[in-house]
Amino acid sequence: MEKIVSLQNTRIKNIVKLSKAKERREQNLFIIEGARELNLALMAGYEVDSVFVCPELFVKTDYPHVLESISDNKKFEVSEAVFEKIAYREGSDGLLTLAKPKGHTLTDLKLSDTPFLIILESVEKPGNLGAVLRTADAAQADAVIVCDPATDIYNPNAIRSSVGCVFTVQTAVCTSQEALSYLRSRNIKAYAAELNASQWYQDTDFTKPSAIVMGTEADGLTLFWLDNADYRVKIPMRGKIDSLNVSVSTAILTFEAMRQRGF
Protein backbone atom coordinates (compact mmCIF):
# COMPACT_ATOMS: atom_id res chain seq x y z
CA MET A 1 0.00 0.00 0.00
CA GLU A 2 1.51 3.32 -1.07
CA LYS A 3 2.01 5.75 1.80
CA ILE A 4 1.31 9.48 1.48
CA VAL A 5 2.80 11.85 4.03
CA SER A 6 3.01 15.10 2.05
CA LEU A 7 0.21 17.64 2.11
CA GLN A 8 1.37 18.74 -1.34
CA ASN A 9 0.68 15.35 -2.91
CA THR A 10 -1.43 15.73 -6.06
CA ARG A 11 -4.01 13.18 -4.91
CA ILE A 12 -4.45 15.04 -1.64
CA LYS A 13 -4.86 18.38 -3.39
CA ASN A 14 -7.52 16.91 -5.67
CA ILE A 15 -9.45 15.52 -2.71
CA VAL A 16 -9.54 18.96 -1.09
CA LYS A 17 -10.97 20.41 -4.31
CA LEU A 18 -13.88 17.96 -4.19
CA SER A 19 -15.62 20.12 -1.60
CA LYS A 20 -16.89 22.12 -4.59
CA ALA A 21 -19.69 20.80 -6.82
CA LYS A 22 -17.89 22.01 -9.95
CA GLU A 23 -14.87 19.85 -9.10
CA ARG A 24 -17.06 16.85 -8.32
CA ARG A 25 -18.59 17.15 -11.77
CA GLU A 26 -15.27 17.67 -13.55
CA GLN A 27 -13.44 14.87 -11.73
CA ASN A 28 -16.53 12.64 -11.80
CA LEU A 29 -15.77 11.71 -8.21
CA PHE A 30 -17.23 12.33 -4.78
CA ILE A 31 -16.11 11.75 -1.20
CA ILE A 32 -17.36 9.07 1.17
CA GLU A 33 -16.20 9.49 4.75
CA GLY A 34 -16.34 6.59 7.15
CA ALA A 35 -16.37 2.81 7.11
CA ARG A 36 -20.14 2.48 7.65
CA GLU A 37 -20.84 4.80 4.73
CA LEU A 38 -18.36 2.95 2.50
CA ASN A 39 -19.97 -0.36 3.44
CA LEU A 40 -23.40 0.96 2.40
CA ALA A 41 -21.98 2.34 -0.86
CA LEU A 42 -20.40 -1.01 -1.72
CA MET A 43 -23.68 -2.80 -0.98
CA ALA A 44 -25.40 -0.36 -3.36
CA GLY A 45 -22.94 -1.15 -6.14
CA TYR A 46 -20.93 2.07 -6.23
CA GLU A 47 -17.60 1.96 -8.04
CA VAL A 48 -14.64 2.84 -5.81
CA ASP A 49 -11.85 4.89 -7.35
CA SER A 50 -9.49 5.01 -4.37
CA VAL A 51 -9.41 4.66 -0.59
CA PHE A 52 -7.27 6.59 1.89
CA VAL A 53 -6.63 4.97 5.27
CA CYS A 54 -5.08 6.41 8.41
CA PRO A 55 -4.06 3.29 10.40
CA GLU A 56 -3.94 5.13 13.73
CA LEU A 57 -7.63 6.02 13.41
CA PHE A 58 -8.97 3.09 11.41
CA VAL A 59 -8.34 0.56 14.18
CA LYS A 60 -11.34 2.01 16.03
CA THR A 61 -13.88 1.33 13.28
CA ASP A 62 -16.86 -1.02 13.65
CA TYR A 63 -16.30 -2.22 10.07
CA PRO A 64 -12.72 -3.58 10.08
CA HIS A 65 -13.30 -5.84 7.06
CA VAL A 66 -14.81 -3.22 4.74
CA LEU A 67 -11.57 -2.89 2.74
CA GLU A 68 -11.22 -6.58 1.90
CA SER A 69 -13.14 -6.34 -1.38
CA ILE A 70 -11.10 -3.38 -2.66
CA SER A 71 -7.97 -4.09 -4.68
CA ASP A 72 -4.64 -3.09 -3.16
CA ASN A 73 -3.73 -0.71 -5.98
CA LYS A 74 -6.69 1.48 -4.96
CA LYS A 75 -5.63 1.73 -1.32
CA PHE A 76 -3.37 4.45 0.09
CA GLU A 77 -2.05 4.83 3.60
CA VAL A 78 -1.93 8.42 4.86
CA SER A 79 -0.44 10.06 7.92
CA GLU A 80 -2.64 11.66 10.58
CA ALA A 81 -1.65 15.12 9.32
CA VAL A 82 -2.68 14.25 5.78
CA PHE A 83 -5.94 12.69 6.91
CA GLU A 84 -6.73 15.76 8.98
CA LYS A 85 -6.26 17.81 5.81
CA ILE A 86 -8.74 15.78 3.73
CA ALA A 87 -11.33 14.88 6.39
CA TYR A 88 -14.56 16.88 6.50
CA ARG A 89 -15.99 15.69 9.78
CA GLU A 90 -14.77 15.39 13.34
CA GLY A 91 -14.50 12.03 15.01
CA SER A 92 -13.76 10.28 11.73
CA ASP A 93 -12.74 6.63 11.75
CA GLY A 94 -9.71 7.16 9.55
CA LEU A 95 -11.24 6.16 6.23
CA LEU A 96 -11.98 8.35 3.22
CA THR A 97 -13.06 7.00 -0.17
CA LEU A 98 -13.39 8.50 -3.63
CA ALA A 99 -16.18 6.93 -5.67
CA LYS A 100 -17.91 7.39 -9.00
CA PRO A 101 -21.38 9.02 -8.89
CA LYS A 102 -24.47 7.43 -10.38
CA GLY A 103 -26.95 8.96 -12.82
CA HIS A 104 -30.07 9.29 -10.64
CA THR A 105 -32.69 9.61 -13.38
CA LEU A 106 -36.43 9.15 -12.98
CA THR A 107 -36.36 6.15 -15.30
CA ASP A 108 -34.05 4.36 -12.85
CA LEU A 109 -36.66 4.35 -10.08
CA LYS A 110 -38.38 1.09 -9.22
CA LEU A 111 -41.65 1.70 -7.39
CA SER A 112 -43.97 -0.48 -5.37
CA ASP A 113 -47.61 -1.01 -6.33
CA THR A 114 -48.69 1.79 -3.97
CA PRO A 115 -45.69 4.09 -3.91
CA PHE A 116 -44.92 6.87 -1.46
CA LEU A 117 -42.48 9.48 -2.74
CA ILE A 118 -40.81 12.52 -1.21
CA ILE A 119 -40.24 15.47 -3.54
CA LEU A 120 -37.90 18.30 -2.54
CA GLU A 121 -38.04 21.51 -4.53
CA SER A 122 -34.92 23.71 -4.69
CA VAL A 123 -33.39 22.26 -1.53
CA GLU A 124 -30.49 24.51 -0.53
CA LYS A 125 -28.83 23.06 2.55
CA PRO A 126 -27.00 19.75 2.19
CA GLY A 127 -27.70 19.00 5.84
CA ASN A 128 -31.45 19.15 5.20
CA LEU A 129 -31.13 16.96 2.12
CA GLY A 130 -29.20 14.39 4.12
CA ALA A 131 -31.71 14.45 6.96
CA VAL A 132 -34.60 13.86 4.53
CA LEU A 133 -32.76 10.90 3.01
CA ARG A 134 -32.33 9.50 6.52
CA THR A 135 -36.07 9.86 7.12
CA ALA A 136 -36.83 8.21 3.78
CA ASP A 137 -34.66 5.25 4.71
CA ALA A 138 -36.25 4.88 8.15
CA ALA A 139 -39.76 4.99 6.71
CA GLN A 140 -38.85 2.95 3.63
CA ALA A 141 -40.26 5.56 1.24
CA ASP A 142 -40.05 4.41 -2.37
CA ALA A 143 -37.83 7.28 -3.47
CA VAL A 144 -36.74 10.87 -2.99
CA ILE A 145 -37.01 13.15 -6.03
CA VAL A 146 -34.86 16.27 -5.86
CA CYS A 147 -36.15 19.02 -8.17
CA ASP A 148 -34.10 22.02 -9.32
CA PRO A 149 -31.67 21.65 -6.39
CA ALA A 150 -29.35 24.37 -5.10
CA THR A 151 -27.07 21.67 -3.69
CA ASP A 152 -26.26 18.12 -4.81
CA ILE A 153 -26.68 14.74 -3.20
CA TYR A 154 -22.93 14.12 -3.28
CA ASN A 155 -22.07 17.16 -1.20
CA PRO A 156 -19.92 15.80 1.67
CA ASN A 157 -22.27 17.36 4.23
CA ALA A 158 -25.31 15.74 2.60
CA ILE A 159 -23.65 12.33 2.77
CA ARG A 160 -22.56 12.93 6.36
CA SER A 161 -25.98 14.07 7.60
CA SER A 162 -27.65 11.19 5.77
CA VAL A 163 -25.35 8.74 7.65
CA GLY A 164 -24.97 6.92 4.37
CA CYS A 165 -28.67 6.83 3.44
CA VAL A 166 -27.80 8.52 0.17
CA PHE A 167 -26.70 5.00 -0.77
CA THR A 168 -29.79 3.19 0.55
CA VAL A 169 -32.60 5.37 -0.80
CA GLN A 170 -33.60 5.54 -4.46
CA THR A 171 -32.99 9.13 -5.54
CA ALA A 172 -33.68 11.01 -8.76
CA VAL A 173 -32.61 14.53 -9.72
CA CYS A 174 -34.70 16.40 -12.28
CA THR A 175 -36.72 19.54 -13.00
CA SER A 176 -40.08 20.20 -11.38
CA GLN A 177 -41.82 19.77 -14.72
CA GLU A 178 -40.18 16.39 -15.23
CA ALA A 179 -41.22 15.30 -11.75
CA LEU A 180 -44.82 16.41 -12.30
CA SER A 181 -45.00 14.57 -15.62
CA TYR A 182 -43.58 11.48 -13.92
CA LEU A 183 -46.27 11.58 -11.22
CA ARG A 184 -49.12 12.11 -13.65
CA SER A 185 -47.98 9.33 -15.96
CA ARG A 186 -48.17 6.93 -13.01
CA ASN A 187 -51.33 8.32 -11.40
CA ILE A 188 -49.47 9.37 -8.26
CA LYS A 189 -51.18 12.22 -6.41
CA ALA A 190 -49.07 15.21 -5.34
CA TYR A 191 -49.61 16.67 -1.85
CA ALA A 192 -48.05 20.11 -1.53
CA ALA A 193 -47.07 21.19 1.97
CA GLU A 194 -48.27 24.77 2.38
CA LEU A 195 -48.77 27.01 5.40
CA ASN A 196 -52.10 28.45 4.21
CA ALA A 197 -53.65 25.18 3.07
CA SER A 198 -57.14 24.42 4.35
CA GLN A 199 -56.55 20.71 4.93
CA TRP A 200 -54.69 19.32 7.95
CA TYR A 201 -52.12 16.65 7.17
CA GLN A 202 -53.61 14.20 9.68
CA ASP A 203 -56.98 14.41 7.90
CA THR A 204 -55.41 13.56 4.54
CA ASP A 205 -55.55 10.10 2.97
CA PHE A 206 -52.02 8.98 2.07
CA THR A 207 -52.90 5.33 1.53
CA LYS A 208 -53.08 5.61 -2.26
CA PRO A 209 -50.06 6.28 -4.54
CA SER A 210 -48.79 9.55 -3.06
CA ALA A 211 -45.99 12.09 -3.24
CA ILE A 212 -45.47 14.82 -0.66
CA VAL A 213 -43.91 17.96 -2.11
CA MET A 214 -41.74 20.08 0.18
CA GLY A 215 -40.36 23.57 -0.44
CA THR A 216 -37.62 25.64 1.14
CA GLU A 217 -37.93 27.00 4.68
CA ALA A 218 -37.51 30.59 3.50
CA ASP A 219 -39.92 30.66 0.57
CA GLY A 220 -41.91 27.44 0.63
CA LEU A 221 -43.05 25.94 -2.65
CA THR A 222 -43.15 27.87 -5.90
CA LEU A 223 -46.41 28.59 -7.70
CA PHE A 224 -45.61 25.76 -10.08
CA TRP A 225 -46.23 23.14 -7.41
CA LEU A 226 -48.96 25.07 -5.60
CA ASP A 227 -50.90 25.33 -8.86
CA ASN A 228 -50.25 21.80 -10.09
CA ALA A 229 -50.44 19.73 -6.91
CA ASP A 230 -53.56 17.64 -6.45
CA TYR A 231 -53.91 18.67 -2.81
CA ARG A 232 -52.45 21.19 -0.37
CA VAL A 233 -51.89 20.16 3.24
CA LYS A 234 -50.59 21.89 6.33
CA ILE A 235 -49.06 21.07 9.70
CA PRO A 236 -50.55 22.85 12.76
CA MET A 237 -48.33 25.67 14.04
CA ARG A 238 -49.24 27.10 17.45
CA GLY A 239 -46.17 29.17 18.20
CA LYS A 240 -44.97 32.53 16.98
CA ILE A 241 -42.97 31.18 14.04
CA ASP A 242 -44.67 30.01 10.87
CA SER A 243 -42.37 27.27 9.62
CA LEU A 244 -40.50 24.14 10.63
CA ASN A 245 -37.19 22.86 9.37
CA VAL A 246 -37.95 21.15 6.05
CA SER A 247 -36.51 17.86 7.25
CA VAL A 248 -38.77 17.95 10.32
CA SER A 249 -41.85 18.76 8.24
CA THR A 250 -40.97 15.97 5.84
CA ALA A 251 -40.61 13.49 8.70
CA ILE A 252 -44.01 14.46 10.14
CA LEU A 253 -45.83 13.93 6.85
CA THR A 254 -43.87 10.82 5.96
CA PHE A 255 -44.55 9.00 9.20
CA GLU A 256 -48.22 9.97 9.13
CA ALA A 257 -48.39 8.31 5.72
CA MET A 258 -46.60 5.25 7.07
CA ARG A 259 -48.95 5.12 10.08
CA GLN A 260 -51.96 5.12 7.76
CA ARG A 261 -50.39 2.34 5.73
CA GLY A 262 -49.89 0.14 8.78
CA PHE A 263 -46.20 0.83 9.25
The whole-chain average pLDDT of the chain stands at 95
The reported pLDDT for the residue numbered 117 is: 99
Mean pLDDT confidence for 104-127: 97
What are the tens digits of pLDDT across the range 39-57? 999 999 999 999 999 998 8
Mean pLDDT confidence for 144-168: 96
> What domains can be seen in the chain, in order of their start residue?
2-100 (3.30.1330.30), 106-261 (3.40.1280.10)
What are the tens digits of pLDDT across the range 189-233? 999 999 889 999 999 999 999 999 999 988 899 999 999 999 999
Whether 62 shows a pLDDT value over 80: the answer reads no
The strand pairing partners of 220, in sequence order, are: 216
Residue 162: pLDDT band (50, 70, 90) is very high
Whether 20 shows a pLDDT value over 90: the answer reads yes
